Structure 1
Amino acid sequence: MTLSTLERPTLYRYVYHDFGRYPVLEGNCLYHKGYVYKVNATTNSGVRLDILKPILEELDAMTHHYSRVFLSRFDLRVPAGTPVSVSNEWVRLLGKSLRERLGSKLRRPKSISEPIKKFAFGWVREREKAIHEHYHFWIALPHRLVKSLGNVESGVGGLIAEIWMKLTGGNASLVEYAKSSSKYSGHYVIRRNEPETLEGPVYWLSYLAKERGKTQTGKGDRVHSTSRISSVTTK
């Protein structure tokens, strides 16, 4: 929904915990670049702006480089008993390996016709009812080159599974790819200068930014992270 007046500021409040604080959106609307986006906030779990805003900055940077951007996500699990410090390092190495492999002339998936030098990604760490930590990982790629994430055996999805199995010593069941549902699509295409194409992605990704399940260890282990293409993109 386009704003008819000057862009309203996004209202938020701070939530304090034993190891610091984080900003939480007030209500269920986010104001971003003259447009109003609905977010997936509930009475039991608000949306953390410190998680959602860096994601939007990365998606903005992607549409600066590409007129159409493919967005999808997947979930990562880890073997029982894995310390958070170790699993966080695995996720960091996954992002690094994806950047190396997708940008390679020879080692990228066969379905990708040319190296991808610029793409965005990010992750959040959660533990709710599950005994062990798990990770939600999103990835944004040029739609010209990627129109499907693939699966455990092919495409970008196959590359993700290959890397994650090597890092964890586990099997492909530790990776779960997004599926379409009545609430979300399995992937989205974001178009430059068409802010309405961000509506679905913002609502979808705001679920990743929910307060619930974000455990702080007090040992400096990160709860979320993103790539950094927005920091080097010319505005």
Structure 2
Amino acid sequence: MANYQYVSHSPVIQHGQNLWQVHVKKSGIYTMQMKSMLDQLESVLTHYSQVLVLRFDIGIPYQTNDNRFIIAVMESFSGFIKQRYKMPIFGYHWTREQERAKKQHYHVVVILDANKVSYPSKINEFILEMGNTLAVRPWIPENCFYRFKRNEHDKKQGAIWRMSYLAKARGKGYKPPQTKNHGSSRVKPKQIK
């Protein structure tokens, strides 16, 4: 049986035929969570020739024993992407963290079709507007996105390094046992005919 709580301190992770550098810092990363993100990135890249990987954070107004705020954010975000960009398939991964604060916060990565979204300004506006509509505190970091084609290994490596922050071991686990530390899309690879 796989150990889903395994923490690696290795600066690289193998996924398929590739080795990727990851951001392990002092705490290490949860390997299964990292591999889940890599699976989604690779699956989305079978549907689109190039992707835009966007990173943002969500603060919430008070502590909860569930993930209701991030679920509402992802439902709202999904509706916006499908309606505005006519993009039925996109990937995402969120992670729940709580350290010194009395309430949790969330880190989010979304993987979008870069043929339809070349720059995320409108998406960032929508994310910030969710602060008003969903009573959350969105934050968009500097250099928040990466855009690359399937075969652009170096650019993909930059996005994977950034994504690996979500899998860090520090800050996880402050929750009831039935509540998830992270959630991910379930995009399946495109079948080649």
TM-score w.r.t. structure 1 length? Answer: 0.74
What is the rounded CA distance, in whole Å, between the counterparts of 1:216 and 1:128 in structure 2? 8
Q: Indicate yes or no: 2:100 matched with 1:129.
A: yes
User: 3-state DSSP class of the match of 2:29?
Assistant: coil
| Contact residue 35 and residue 195 of structure 1 kept, 8 A | no
What is the aligned length? 191
Specify whether residues 47 and 219 from structure 1 end up closer, same or farther in structure 2 by C-alpha distance, changes over 3 A only: closer
After TM superposition, give the deviation of residue 175 of structure 1 in Å: 1.0
Alignment of 1:73-92 (within 5 A): 73-79=55-61, 81-85=62-66, 88-92=67-71
- 1:152-163 mapped onto 2 (5 Å cutoff): 155-163=122-130
SS of alignment partner, residue 131 of structure 1: coil
Q: CA RMSD in A?
A: 2.1
State the match for 1:193 in structure 2.
Answer: 151
Larger radius of gyration: 1
Shift of 1:224: 0.3
Structure 1 match to 2:81: 102
Given candidates 122, 146, 160, the residue that maps to 2:117 is 146
Q: Output the amino acid matched with 1:175.
A: P
Contact 1:77–1:175 (Cα < 8 Å) also in 2: yes
Paired residues of 2:173 and 2:181 also in contact (CA < 8 A) = yes
Pairing 1:63–2:20 present: no
Task: Give the AA of the match of 1:136.
Answer: H
Q: Which ranges of structure 1 fall in alignment gaps of 5 or more residues? A: 1-12, 15-20, 109-113, 181-185
Tell me, in whole angstroms, the C-alpha distance in 2 between the residues paired with 1:125 and 1:133: 7
Q: What does residue 176 of structure 1 align with? A: 139
TM-score by length of 2: 0.89
Q: Is the 8 A contact 2:9 2:24 kept in 1?
A: no
Structure 2 unaligned segments of length 5 or more: list them. none
Q: CA deviation at 1:164?
A: 4.3
For the structure 1 residues 161 and 59, does the alpha-carbon distance in structure 2 shift closer, same or farther, using more than 3 Å as the test?
same
Distance 2:92 2:23 in 1: 20
